Chains A and B, each alone.
Chain A
């Protein structure tokens, strides 16, 4: 069936099988292979994209469900030569090894920051109504949906902390 997806600010027309996931639409039909498939089951986070600024697992969504949404993929955050602060920080802190989970980690980190800005608590927040603290433990908890078998977690956390001010993170205790 026909569907128009708005990806990285561009309208893209597609004629696809209704069973096509958002992830497969991006990877197999739009040549946007930056979003990775690690499990196809919502278990690894490699496929994380932003839909209207919220992070989701693109493998758990059907493309046709997202006709009117703003979709942002890793390609939309920055490209070689014009990397985003998060992308630069991942390179700087070796927040990866094989690089396969990396786009998902970066997009997820971006989405996580807007959740901080909205004051969302997490499973490790002491007070559910307070402004969350941008601490290592909070970052670790909130990034635990993104698996990295190369185990670059220390570099991933360091990169996120380093890039946060430049990414415009504001609403945290640390920024107060």
Chain B
């Protein structure tokens, strides 16, 4: 049976009534012992009998065509084959569900996959891939730089409310600033990998993928086969951050080679391949125009952006996504302009939109607060609207003011001084704040929940755990609803033969997959209530005992066999009738070296309101992740393209600088207690990306507060600071 819910109206707060105590509090991860002992199996770690090894071959020109000369390598030891069929240009965009561009011998950017070299061993395949002769015919007209001479396509109709120019000219205070951010790489620690094997016409792919329901369609479409002939397994994923949303080149290459050879083939991307063949976050230019009246009320918000992508890619970074609903102001203008360049494709990287859009917006808010002579927290609080300023929709919940105020108190904001007023040795100290906002989304999702008479339970869904804590929270939800200890629940994930879930992305996993488990368990509760002779509302389940209507029976007495229910959640009208978002406030204290301009983050606090928190430990880890990504975004992360060729010159982890342990100070996380009744039947909101949204801006605002230098060009490396220190 299926327990189905379309989220059209507010649901009762069941998880506040159940009382098992399996949710809310910190709980360690059930798969933890496997991970810490190295026995969790990631995609590349499947070793199948008679498996051949594949290594990707990358294009060495920026634009043109290529021809592979297989004869150049076929006498090399261990040679098995060179395959170019159906090669995809780059990884698929998130939720695409169809094949990525398959350019058939054309080269659109430097580093594009053009072939896979297959051999008996990895060492042989690597040698063959490097020795393969490729004949290139370069084409004219490659574009590799976004600058003032670039042609842009306007991606969406610019919103234009009121009269921004007039409001700017009449305002008591205004700012008009250009912010720029460099491209970012997800840099999940596990490189993309695939092991493909065919059983007749059906391909079994062990991959490292975030959204199996979409991925199976993308793979089927890329291979030209029916989706029923695709099975994907992805039980453990070594981080995603958007880079594994869509099917990636090694999956298609491994499947094609394996089909031709009739034997399993493993293809693991080299780290350089990951930087080049997998979508990355676009660079952005953001023109921020803000104006306010003498009381510090916003009258105008303009947020226009310029970005890049390959021709034919549908994704655009929604830079202004949170600007539409975060602050009031009657005169508003946006615009999105995309340059089509011959460089690695742009796509979603953790918090697409907010991660960079809230740098521009929150820095601009800081600038305007200062111009108006108002404390930045007070300035933000004054501009929180009653309802969403463009759509007019009510917020499902909005605890931004509370996050800012409680956070300020906890952080010791009252000790903040002006630029260059706190000097410690050769370090200026300063504090900064930024609001966080991230749209909350519910996606269709399904799961099977089984309760056994012995009080154990099983959750099955093709949902993934990319480190986010899915194994933990799905088990906790089932345990809470069924009145059993979480250790009694087994969670099976990452197999497309299981009911189709939302996948991990857009911070919707916990809400969507979680709701399906909630519903499945709710269906079981209804059955148990019937058997006990009470209404589902009266039923109490705790520690394996059912109580209701003056009856009290252990589960074993109520059940003569396992009960399985499918839970099925669909978004409904509450998604359209309310502005749904998580809100929060980031605080940072930094030290800026007055001689070198080096910035060290001293401490950070994130005050987050994301509805009900299911597991305080895994949720906190997600926020830590966001804060630390904020440090990278603010201070070190930038992809550098060679201006002549579009080549990513820092295509590895030594030259692309993600934060290391010593870059990270003590971090505090504070969850503001909240229930969002419109979001889903569990009243939760996404947390994985909220923790990043605005985090970097708190740091750059703190840099300004420390030393009086406003950095407009991210990241805030010392060269952008010390020339301006006197």
State A93–B39 Cα separation when bound (angstroms). 19
State A40–B41 Cα separation when bound (angstroms). 19
Tell me whether B34 and A98 are in contact (CB under 8 A).
Answer: no
Of chain A, the residue at the smallest CB distance from B469 is: A97
Interface stretch, picked from B220-228, B319-327, B622-630, B715-723, is B622-630
- Say how far B191's CB is from chain A's closest CB, in angstroms: 7
Tally the A-B contacts, defined by beta carbons under 8 Å: 197
Tell me whether A74 and B37 are in contact (CB under 8 A).
Answer: yes
Chain A residues whose C-beta falls within 8 Å of the C-beta of B667 in the assembled complex: 154
Is B659 an interface residue when CB atoms closer than 8 A count as contact?
yes
Give the contacts of A68-123 with B (CB-CB under 8 A).
73-75, 77-81, 83, 87-88, 90-92, 94, 96-103, 106
- Say how far B29's CB is from chain A's closest CB, in angstroms: 7
Total interface residues in chain A, CB < 8 Å = 65
State A99–B42 Cα separation when bound (angstroms). 10
Interface stretch, picked from B15-23, B452-460, B650-658, is B650-658
Is A44 an interface residue when CB atoms closer than 8 A count as contact?
yes
Tell me whether B123 and A40 are in contact (CB under 8 A).
Answer: no
State A143–B268 Cα separation when bound (angstroms). 27
Known: A41-B271, A151-B659. A75 touches B38 (CB 8 A): yes
Tell me whether B28 and A94 are in contact (CB under 8 A).
Answer: yes
Tell me whether B271 and A99 are in contact (CB under 8 A).
Answer: no
Known: A36-B190, A41-B652. A150 touches B47 (CB 8 A): no
State A8–B653 Cα separation when bound (angstroms). 29
- Say how far B2's CB is from chain A's closest CB, in angstroms: 32
Tell me whether B28 and A91 are in contact (CB under 8 A).
Answer: yes
Known: A39-B653, A156-B661. A99 touches B624 (CB 8 A): no
Is A28 an interface residue when CB atoms closer than 8 A count as contact?
yes
Contact flags B28-45 to A (C-beta < 8 A → 1, else 0): 110111111111111011
- Say how far A104's CB is from chain B's closest CB, in angstroms: 9
Chain B residues whose C-beta falls within 8 Å of the C-beta of A94 in the assembled complex: 28-29, 617-618, 620-621
Of chain B, the residue at the smallest CB distance from A124 is: B662
Chain B residues whose C-beta falls within 8 Å of the C-beta of A152 in the assembled complex: 621, 624-625
State A35–B35 Cα separation when bound (angstroms). 11
Interface centre among B237, B467, B468 (most CB of A within 10 A): B467
State A37–B44 Cα separation when bound (angstroms). 9
**SS class, residues of chain A in contact with chain B:** loop
Chain A residues whose C-beta falls within 8 Å of the C-beta of B618 in the assembled complex: 94, 97
Known: A80-B34, A97-B469, A154-B666. A31 touches B661 (CB 8 A): no
Contact flags A12-49 to B (C-beta < 8 A → 1, else 0): 00000101100010011001111111111101101000
Give the contacts of B619-669 with A (CB-CB under 8 A).
620-622, 624-625, 627-629, 652-654, 658-664, 666-667
Known: A20-B123, A36-B189. A153 touches B664 (CB 8 A): yes
Known: A17-B124, A94-B29, A106-B36. A44 touches B661 (CB 8 A): no
Is A52 an interface residue when CB atoms closer than 8 A count as contact?
no
State A46–B186 Cα separation when bound (angstroms). 17
Contact of A28 among B122, B240, B625 (CB under 8 A): B122
Tell me whether A153 and B661 are in contact (CB under 8 A).
Answer: yes
Chain A residues whose C-beta falls within 8 Å of the C-beta of B587 in the assembled complex: none
Is B236 an interface residue when CB atoms closer than 8 A count as contact?
yes
Chain B residues whose C-beta falls within 8 Å of the C-beta of A141 in the assembled complex: 661-662
Contact of B37 among A31, A75, A139 (CB under 8 A): A75
- Say how far A22's CB is from chain B's closest CB, in angstroms: 13
Is B239 an interface residue when CB atoms closer than 8 A count as contact?
yes
Is A146 an interface residue when CB atoms closer than 8 A count as contact?
yes
Is A170 an interface residue when CB atoms closer than 8 A count as contact?
no
Is B121 an interface residue when CB atoms closer than 8 A count as contact?
yes
State A152–B666 Cα separation when bound (angstroms). 12
Tell me whether A28 and B238 are in contact (CB under 8 A).
Answer: no
Chain A residues whose C-beta falls within 8 Å of the C-beta of B268 in the assembled complex: 37
Tell me whether A97 and B468 are in contact (CB under 8 A).
Answer: yes
Contact flags A127-152 to B (C-beta < 8 A → 1, else 0): 00000000011011101111111111
Total interface residues in chain B, CB < 8 Å = 63
- Say how far A86's CB is from chain B's closest CB, in angstroms: 8
Tell me whether A149 and B188 are in contact (CB under 8 A).
Answer: yes
State A34–B663 Cα separation when bound (angstroms). 27
State A152–B658 Cα separation when bound (angstroms). 13
Tell me whether B624 and A154 are in contact (CB under 8 A).
Answer: yes
Tell me whether A143 and B38 are in contact (CB under 8 A).
Answer: no
Interface centre among A28, A79, A139 (most CB of B within 10 A): A28
Known: A43-B654, A100-B239, A143-B661. A80 touches B37 (CB 8 A): yes
Known: A33-B45, A80-B37. A99 touches B238 (CB 8 A): yes
Tell me whether B270 and A100 are in contact (CB under 8 A).
Answer: no
State A79–B37 Cα separation when bound (angstroms). 5
Tell me whether B29 and A38 are in contact (CB under 8 A).
Answer: no
Is A56 an interface residue when CB atoms closer than 8 A count as contact?
no
Tell me whether A78 and B37 are in contact (CB under 8 A).
Answer: yes
Chain B residues whose C-beta falls within 8 Å of the C-beta of A136 in the assembled complex: 666
Interface centre among B239, B628, B667 (most CB of A within 10 A): B239
- Say how far B244's CB is from chain A's closest CB, in angstroms: 11
Is B344 an interface residue when CB atoms closer than 8 A count as contact?
no
State A16–B268 Cα separation when bound (angstroms). 20
Tell me whether A149 and B37 are in contact (CB under 8 A).
Answer: no
State A156–B625 Cα separation when bound (angstroms). 13
Known: A40-B270, A90-B36. A17 touches B121 (CB 8 A): yes
Tell me whether A73 and B661 are in contact (CB under 8 A).
Answer: no
State A141–B652 Cα separation when bound (angstroms). 21
Contact of A38 among B28, B35, B121, B191 (CB under 8 A): B191
- Say how far A111's CB is from chain B's closest CB, in angstroms: 15
State A153–B29 Cα separation when bound (angstroms). 17
- Say how far A87's CB is from chain B's closest CB, in angstroms: 4
State A141–B661 Cα separation when bound (angstroms). 7
Interface centre among A37, A90, A146 (most CB of B within 10 A): A37
Of chain A, the residue at the smallest CB distance from B626 is: A151
Is B241 an interface residue when CB atoms closer than 8 A count as contact?
yes
- Say how far B225's CB is from chain A's closest CB, in angstroms: 29
Known: A80-B33, A80-B39, A91-B29. A97 touches B664 (CB 8 A): no
Chain A residues whose C-beta falls within 8 Å of the C-beta of B186 in the assembled complex: 149
Chain A residues whose C-beta falls within 8 Å of the C-beta of B40 in the assembled complex: 99
Tell me whether B36 and A102 are in contact (CB under 8 A).
Answer: yes
Contact flags B227-270 to A (C-beta < 8 A → 1, else 0): 00000000011111100000000000000000000000000101
Contacts A35-B38, A98-B189, A154-B664 supplied; 6 other A-B pairs, CB < 8 Å: A27-B44, A28-B122, A33-B41, A33-B45, A147-B660, A149-B187
Pairs across A and B, CB under 8 Å, 25 listed: A20-B121, A20-B122, A34-B38, A34-B39, A36-B238, A37-B268, A41-B652, A43-B271, A43-B652, A46-B189, A80-B34, A87-B33, A87-B36, A91-B28, A91-B29, A91-B32, A96-B32, A96-B35, A97-B618, A99-B31, A99-B467, A100-B467, A147-B653, A147-B660, A152-B625
The 5 closest A-B pairs by CB, nearest first: A34-B38, A100-B238, A98-B467, A99-B35, A97-B467
